[in-house]
Amino acid sequence: MGLVAFEEHYSIRELAGVRADYMRRIGFPAVEKPGAGAGLGRILSDVEEVRLPTMDRLGIERQVLSASSPSVQGLTDAGEAVRLAARFNESVAEVVRAHPDRFSGFAALPLQDPPAAARELERAVRELGLSGALVNGHTDGLYLDHPSLRRVWAVAEGLGVPIYLHVNDPIPGQWRNLEDFPELLTAAWGWGTETGTHALRILCGGVFDDFPGAKLLVGHLGEMIPYALWRLDNQWRGQFDGSSLTESSGPPRIRELPSFYARRNLYVTTSGNLSAPALRCAIDVLGISQVLFAADYPFEPTEDAVRFLADAPIAESEREAIGWRNAVSLLKLT
C-alpha cells in the first residue's frame, strides 16, 4: 500500500478571508504562513489539477483532507461558524465520494457552540462519511479540555474517530517573551509551543479519564511532548504522593501519570519535523503504533516528507507502520 498522509489541507472559497480577518482582529504581526503566496487558495481547493498528480508521482495513496488554520476557529459569530463548518464538511465529503480510494476527510467543528459542534461531528461521520475532526487550536481562548467540550469528546469516542489538534496563533499577549522576535512567533517556535501546551491541557485535564477510548492527533512529531515526557512524569509524581501539593493546587487532576495517556491516547505525525533523532524519540517514547505519516500539503514540500520517511534510519517494519499500517487501523481502512 502507498503512503497515507494525515495533515493535508483543503479549503473552500467561503473560508478564504478568515485568516486575514482573524489576524487583524487579534492584532497579531502579519507573518505569512510557510508556503503562502499567490495562488494558495487555488492550490488548497484543487483536487484534480495538481493534488492527485503529485500524490501519484510521490506514492501517496491517500490524503486525509482538513482545513488549515484558523478555519472556523477564527470566527467570533457562532452562527457563522456553524454554517461554514457544515459547508466545508459537505465540500470535503464531495471530494471523498468522488475519490473514495484516494481521500478521507476530517471535519471542521464550530466549537463556539459546543452542542452544535457535537451534532456536526456526528453528522460529518455518520452522514457525510468523514473520518474524524481537525480543530485549529483554541477557539477564541476556548481549549479542548474545557468542560463544555466534553460532549464533543463523548461523540468522538462513541464513533471511534480521532480529533487532530492543528496549530494556530496564540491568544494575543500570551507569549510576551517572543514580542521582539516575530520570526519565532509562528512555525519556527510559537505555533508548536501553543499547540503543545494545548495538547498537554488535554492530557493533564482529565479528558482521557472521562473518555479512555478517545484519540488525539498532533503534528510535528508531538510538538515537543515526547522529548519532555520523562520530566513531565517526574514532576507529576510529587502530586501523587502529596510532596509537591500546596493549599491552592489541590489533588492531581488525572488518575495516572501523563505518559500513561500519551502512550494510550496520543498519536503524532511527521508533518513539518523531518528530523531522524526526533522520529526515533517519538517511536521509543510513545511506541511505534502511535506514529503516523503527514506531509502538511501544501505548506511543506511533500517530496521532502516522502524522502525523509524513505531514508530514515529505522526498521522496515517501523517504516511500514508509520507509512500506512497505523493509518489502516486508525481510520478503519480496508
d(CA 159, CA 97): 20
Please state whether 218 falls in left (phi above 0), alpha (psi between -120 and 50) or beta: beta
Task: Give strand ranges (E) for the chain.
Answer: 3-9, 60-66, 103-105, 133-136, 163-166, 216-218, 266-269, 291-292
Write the DSSP symbol of residue 255: S
- 218-233 burial, b for 16+ CB within 10 Å, e for fewer? bbbbbbbbbbbbeebe
Catalytic annotation, pick one of 210, 296, 304, 311: 296
Cell matching residue 127: 452522514
Q: How far is residue 109's CA from residue 113's CA, in Å, rounded to a whole number?
A: 9
Residue 107: other Cβ atoms inside 10 A = 29
Sheet with 3-9, edge to edge strand ranges: 3-9, 60-66, 103-105
* 46 is an active site residue: no
Catalytic residues: 296
